[in-house]
Structure 1
Amino acid sequence: MPPRAYLKGETMALRIGRCLLRELRKAKKLSQVELAKRVRDLGVDLSDTTVSEFERNERICTNILTLKGISRVLGCHIDDLYEFPDS
């Protein structure tokens, strides 16, 4: 089956799973700015704007280094960052 066309405003993140970054970040009592800074301190480029886009499912993170940096700061596994629907 060929991939379907995206509707205006629809993102790949919404199609493949829901980002749980906001819940994980808040559980650690970190702001978006603090999370981004701690990830940058690990040598991975990440802005608080990008964190916000991930959290709103407006952008999907495909960079393994970014995923590893975020998961390291949050003390979770990369797999914990997204919730995938059963299908």
Structure 2
Amino acid sequence: MEFQAYDIALIPLIVALVGVATKLGVGPRYQPAVALALGLIGGFVYVAPHDPKQAALAGLVMGLSAIGAYSGVKNTIEKRDP
């Protein structure tokens, strides 16, 4: 499997779309599912529409990476009570 720069660029897009979904009322419990779904959609539509195994793997990698990136940014920005 070969990732290209354009494929990896989908991760920030997924993070942004999860943020939009949050603003539209998707609860924190469902944000990882939204990220995984968007990653899989990106994998099957954009990354490898001709190879389902590669598309699924790339979609999972992108979705899970987006979950981590979104969580990291959210935890960094979020105020903590000491």
Q: TM above 0.5, one fold?
A: no
TM-score by length of 2: 0.28
Question: Between Structure 1 and Structure 2, which shows a larger proportion of helix residues?
Answer: 2
Q: Which has the higher contact order (CA 8 A, sep 6+)?
A: 1
